[in-house]
Amino acid sequence: MKKIIANFKMNKTNSQVKEYIMKLLPRFDRDDVELVLCPPATSLSIANFLLDGSLIKLGAQNLSDEEEGKNTGDISGEMLKDCGASYVIVGHSERRTKFRENGKAINKKIKIALKNRLKVIFCIGESLTDKNLQKTQEVLKAQIEDGLKGLYENELDNIIIAYEPVWAIGSGKTPLLKEIESSMKLIRKTVANDFSNKAGEKIEIVYGGSVDNKNCNSISKLKDVNGLLIGGACLDPINFSQLLRDVKA
Ligand code: 13P
């Protein structure tokens, strides 16, 4: 089943999330697509209440790299789970760059998320400089190895790798379909080398970065793409419900 993950980023107050869900719910009727909404943490509880009884899942955008205690401003995995999240995004490029999250912190976050029975949407992706220096392979490999260090193979069942080239996020630019395909293959190969061939075949990988109503169908059709991670194009519920209709299951 294809996964569509909607990352609201730092957008929408509680009342706006409520209005969004009220508009989206009657327009979403696909049972062959798993939809995960990731609103800001402040709206998880209200979203959980409104989504009760629907097939739509809830995800958080980040979690602390500590389990509890003196981390002013942070939110723990346990707290997110308690608010109704079943997924959490880890290692988004905006957090890697702006908040200087490194591989070690991301690895800790992934382990804490799994401990709290949260499925992890683990983001990786090369910057424009990496791409221009033809370092994409090297960078993706290192990000996967750092992030998944010390995990057992069966824990990969609860990890979705989100391939988001940094230069494609919010830019209106996307890689060519064949470039997406080759990155997906590289990701599978890296997981196969680090774990097993079976793990490489089984791992779920979604694509993110300037996905919109025009390209969602062709990207979701790619064989190795198990879904999409969407930012800007998910923010309007009417537009997003149209996009959801165009996704290839
Ligand atoms: P855009 O879809 O706005 O490019 O954002 C992608 C993203 O960062 C989702 O996590």
* pLDDT tens digits in sequence order for the chain, 249 residues long: 999 999 999 999 999 999 999 999 999 999 999 999 999 999 999 999 999 999 999 999 999 999 999 999 999 999 999 999 999 999 999 999 999 999 999 999 999 999 999 999 999 999 999 999 999 999 999 999 999 999 999 999 999 999 999 999 999 999 999 999 999 999 999 999 999 999 999 999 999 999 999 999 999 999 999 999 999 999 999 999 999 999 998
Residue 220 and residue 216: Cα distance in Å, rounded?
A: 6
Residue 36 near residue 6 (C-beta atoms within 8 A)? yes
According to DSSP, the β-strands at 33-38 and 119-124 are unpaired
Angle between helix 177-194 and helix 136-147 axes, rounded to 10 deg: 40
Whole-structure pTM value:
0.98
Q: Is any ligand 1 atom within 6 A of the Cβ of residue 230?
A: yes
Residue 176 and residue 121: Cα distance in Å, rounded?
A: 23
Let me know if 179 is a catalytic residue. no
* Closest to 214 measured CA to CA, from 243, 240, 192, 241: 243
Question: Could you give the C-alpha distances from 171 to 30, 175, 212, 223, in angstroms and in order?
Answer: 29, 11, 11, 25
- Residue nearest to ligand 1 atom 5, measured at CA: 231
Q: Is any ligand 1 atom within 6 A of the Cβ of residue 210?
A: yes
- Active-site residue identified among 94, 101, 126, 164: 164
| Beta-carbon-side half-sphere exposure of residue 246 (alpha carbons within 13 Å) | 16
Scanning 174-236, the segments in alpha helix (DSSP H) are 177-194, 197-202, 216-221
- Residue nearest to ligand 1 atom 7, measured at CA: 231
* Closest to 37 measured CA to CA, from 27, 24, 26, 123: 24
Alpha-carbon Rg for the chain, nearest whole angstrom, is 17
Let me know if 92 is a catalytic residue. yes
Q: Is any ligand 1 atom within 6 A of the Cβ of residue 120?
A: no
Four-CA torsion 27, 30, 31, 34, nearest 10 degrees:
-90
